[in-house]
Structures are given as structure tokens and as C-alpha cells.
Structure 1
Amino acid sequence: MTPIIRASSELRKNYNSIAEICRTEKKPVFLTRNGEGDTVLMDMETYSRREEDLSMAERLFEAEMDRLAGIRGYTPEEFKENMKKAIAQGKKGK
């Protein structure tokens, strides 16, 4: 992926065009200050997608660590059955 790089001074002058690049390219724009990396700008949709991807990766990593540690998980069917039992017990006031 080729990065999109712009000077931070360009943000003040051309915010709308930089925001449009973010929305159309669906990639972050890297802003520099004095020739050095300073800030990353991205549209909300791209940010939300990256956050969801990161959250999923974290959950998968945790599940894999549990698996490697020998912690047993539940199948979807087992989970559904356990939830039914918990709901039934809650209704009985236990």
C-alpha cells in the first residue's frame, strides 16, 4: 500500500481536498511537520472498520491464547444450551 503523505500546513489550506482523499481512497493520510511524520488522518468509515478489525484480532488472539493454555471453550450449541439454562434459572428466581 503506497502511503499518502501531505504536509501538515496543507491541512489548514486544503482541508476539504485532504478529507476527500481520505473518503475516496479509504486510506489514511500521513501528515508531516518539518519533514517528519506527525499525524494520521482518516475518514470515519475507515477508522471504524480498522477499529472493528483490531477488536476482532484481539478476540481471536485471546481465544488462541486460551486454547494454547488448555482452557476449553464452548461450541455454539453448548453456549446456546447454557444460556437457555441460565434464563430458565433466572425466571425461577434462583
Structure 2
Amino acid sequence: MPQIIPIRDLKNTSEISQMCHESKEPIYITKNGYGDMVIMSMETYKEKMYILDVYDKLNAAETQLSEGKVLDAQKALKSVREKYNV
């Protein structure tokens, strides 16, 4: 369940840092009752960015597949082996 805290609670930086590391989820900050910011630990940020990168690559691969931009696996391996003398 997402944690939501008011912006005035950001004064307790050590407590907020601990919350970020314990929850391993983003913490939503509100200002005057409306969403304003999101904070998270570096570990959580790196994980989210990694997953986003994977989804981007999968999307690109699906686009190439639907456009017919594919190679025969055996021909591609043969080409790589010839190029690198493997």
C-alpha cells in the first residue's frame, strides 16, 4: 500500500530516509492535500529504472517483430561467427 505523507513531515529527514529504505516503494508527498512529489531510496529508483529499460527493449523488439525486421537465427549466428572468426 502506498505511503502518503504531507510536505511538512519532510523536516524529519532521517525518519523519511528510514521509511524509504524499509518500504522499498515510493513515498508520495502531498501539498495542501494534492499530490506534489514522490521520493524513494536509490535502490528502489535503480530497480524501477532497470524494469523500465527492460520494458522499453521488449517494446522495441515487438515493434521490430511486427514490422518483419527479423533475421533467421542460423544465418545470424553464421554471420557473427564469420565476422569474429569463432
For Structure 1 versus Structure 2, the TM-score category normalised by the shorter chain is 0.7 to 0.9
Number of residue pairs matched? Answer: 85
Give the unaligned 5+ runs of structure 2. Answer: none
Query: Shift in Å at residue 69 of structure 1?
Result: 1.0
Residues 1:68 and 1:14: Cα distance change in structure 2 (over 3 Å): same
Query: Shift in Å at residue 9 of structure 1?
Result: 1.3
Q: 2 CA distance for matches of 1:59 and 1:43?
A: 25
The aligned amino acid for 1:7 is P
TM-score normalised according to structure 1 size: 0.78
Q: 2 CA distance for matches of 1:22 and 1:62?
A: 32
Q: 2 CA distance for matches of 1:9 and 1:78?
A: 62
The aligned amino acid for 1:45 is E
Query: Shift in Å at residue 73 of structure 1?
Result: 4.1
Partner of 1:16: 14
The aligned amino acid for 2:17 is A
TM-score normalised according to structure 2 size: 0.85
Matched, 1:63 2:64: no
Runs of at least 4 residues of structure 1 off by over 4 A? 77-81
RMSD, matched Cα:
1.8
